[in-house]
Amino acid sequence: MTGAFLQPEEATAAEAIAAIADELAVFDDWMERYQYIIELGRKLPPFPDVWADDAHRVPGCQSRVWMEAEVREGRLYFAGASDAAIVSGLVALLLRVYSGRTPGEIGATDPVFLKDLGLLEALSTNRGNGIAAMARKVRERAAVA
């Protein structure tokens, strides 16, 4: 199932955050940014149906979100999916930042970047709470890795 886990595009979480900021800055309004985020979600690796269960579900999300993680060579790789298009895109953004990083780098990368990029303000309260829950789950998993 290794193909389900997102491979990092950038060398570090900080570089991933900077790249996402640059990509979002291209768009003039939030409707265009939402479309871009939805496209990112469509490009996520296929999430195995066997993981779409309560054991993999992220609590605190309005939409259904599932995540799985595995440790390879001291790095944590994440897979994720959602039943909502925009949320799949938010999963893709989070995984781009956190997947393929060491537990230490994940722990050191505060999810405040979501606020800095304007994502939390642009989302409904429920979606904002949901992405914060996903970030918490990633960091909790890193803490026990």
Residue 99 is encoded by which pair of tokens? 């997947």
Catalogue the E-assigned strands of 6-134.
Answer: 65-72, 75-82
Does the CA dihedral 53-88-109-12 come out positive or negative?
positive
Residue 1 annotated as catalytic: no
Which residue's structure tokens are 């992405």? 131
Which has the closest alpha carbon to 37: 98, 91, 81? 91
Catalytic residue among 40, 61, 81, 87: 61
Residue 6 is encoded by which pair of tokens? 């997102």
Catalytic machinery residues: 61
